[in-house]
Structure 1
């Protein structure tokens, strides 16, 4: 009923003439108009375009477009309205075999409830998202689902496990050149290292996050790294540094009304001043934490210790009334945490961890049942027993030579024509042509050799947005933006190695820096994936060929 009223009210915004013109627009034109109005912060106009998009899809009984229409509306609405639109996606698509839905809706619902700190509902939706992600070939959705599982697990203290989750997610987002999500993963890694008491590693990732956030123009992320480093400096017993970092972060967090993280800042200030024997300031900040808890009914388990400090302060001051008050509050918090976390632990174990372990066990059993593995192991043991190292080396050289020759015979990049229906991308043909021309110029000028190139920076160069550019690269190149850039760099590297004798003499580190890779390790890994040869082996073969 709420959704229906919103749609009816939206229709009344435009004149009949405008309504008639909207009805004649294509999905691409409506989507273009929606994103333009969304960029201009005109929610009413954006809602109108999304509404007509949805209405058109319903009339044509076009299920995927219906889901996209609800997703557009969910994008610009908040609270219960947002949930209604996401639930509509699930209702329409739960039994369909669509690429992105209903998985996308479950991911958004997980994020919504996690931001509200309703961890039970966040986990319920994340488990559903994971079920669909297991059957999906959309890597971005898989990463986002995995990251949200990691967030919930951190609340339970599974830091060793979540560290690997967050590192995998960071690698995935880096390959996609998804700067904002990459920064979020860096923050999660730094925070996890802090909880593991690997404080220097935490500082390393906080500093990396600070530099990246500032260089990429993500000011909001910068303040979260300041807050986390403030907490980290407390654990290092650098109390003045802790105060300096947190004092710089809190005003921004207050400005955006991020109460949970404001509470975290107050908590550590309270602990710092306790260590500095300033009980008055310690009490002040820790009571502010309690005020936020009373407003939000959410408290991170880490903040529990602040109540113990308050109880200790009142005990030593002989203030039994306040001492009893905060004992009662702490007992209620413990009861809440116990209830929440028993539910989370039980559900994670039953519906995520256990199925994951069973799947892992089944994969191992299948591998062990594969006779080829037994033959391979037997062969390796036999070879090792007879010590035929020279034979092995000779064969390896022959294999490398064959790989080298096979690669050279087919290494030239083939740009196969792709039949494209612009409707598939929800991008007008004019915009597609503009982006394609820009990419051709970008490749011709070798812009990919710039080690700081990203989806965001190239979109700005081409005077388009990251959403359009990412879709174009994914569709035309059939790969992610990060893979597209690396492919161009590798093709340039191979061609130059073939023709430039001086370039062949460079170290692997120097070559990687020359062609835009962040590290020799990432360069070598990408080079091997493309050629099935290490860079050093490839260069040796080139020299042998003269």
Structure 2
């Protein structure tokens, strides 16, 4: 009682000393009331953190005992303000709900005009404040979820580009060592296309082997009809043989031959490294620099720029 008297006399230091000396002698609601005065004293001295700690301890006691006292409304008002300053919508909603609940409990115990006025004006405002906090919390949760998703996507993208870069560097290393990238491994063919007579099939394969060692495939205008005429067959037989034995289409077959030649000649002739993509396209039988670049990457899995830069550095 002396401590409370000193508090109202504004002798805060003396009130605090007394309260701290005897606080452990109390429990339950009596202790909560003493803690309330300690919280108010700390707030008077500007110690907001210490005041909030006292008020949160009171919240724990009241939640446990379900025995509110008149000043508990001020406690929750202070905790609401603290949660707003801390930008903690979840705590804010919790404290508003408790303030509304304990205010209704205390109002029913003290039915008078003043308390009815609080219910009529303060409670609706608190409910609006609670709804606003709930909306803010929901928006924040959505924002956090989006950030988490974006972070996850960024990590996946980073991993993807890292693995792709690592794979490309491995291919580049093999390419520099002279390995043919994108080449089909030799397999024993046990089945043959029945639509192509055996004698014609063997003749086409022999002539294709000769064609692959020539530079006839460097022509920009070479098409299946032209090659069929060169080796003395028709386009149906030629297409069937290439698809079956080379495991690729005719356009890819020709592009791959050009890229293999490009890799070989670029590795041996430093003068070619001075050319841009369009110049290299002219040399190796492509119509545009873009078509040369795409064919090179598809065949080797390496961007031509990386291959050329590696050759230049060596």
TM-score tier by shorter-chain length is 0.3 to 0.5
TM-score (norm 2): 0.46
Which of the pair has the greater relative contact order for Cα pairs under 8 Å at 6+ separation? 2
Q: With the length of structure 1 as denominator, give the TM-score of the two structures.
A: 0.27
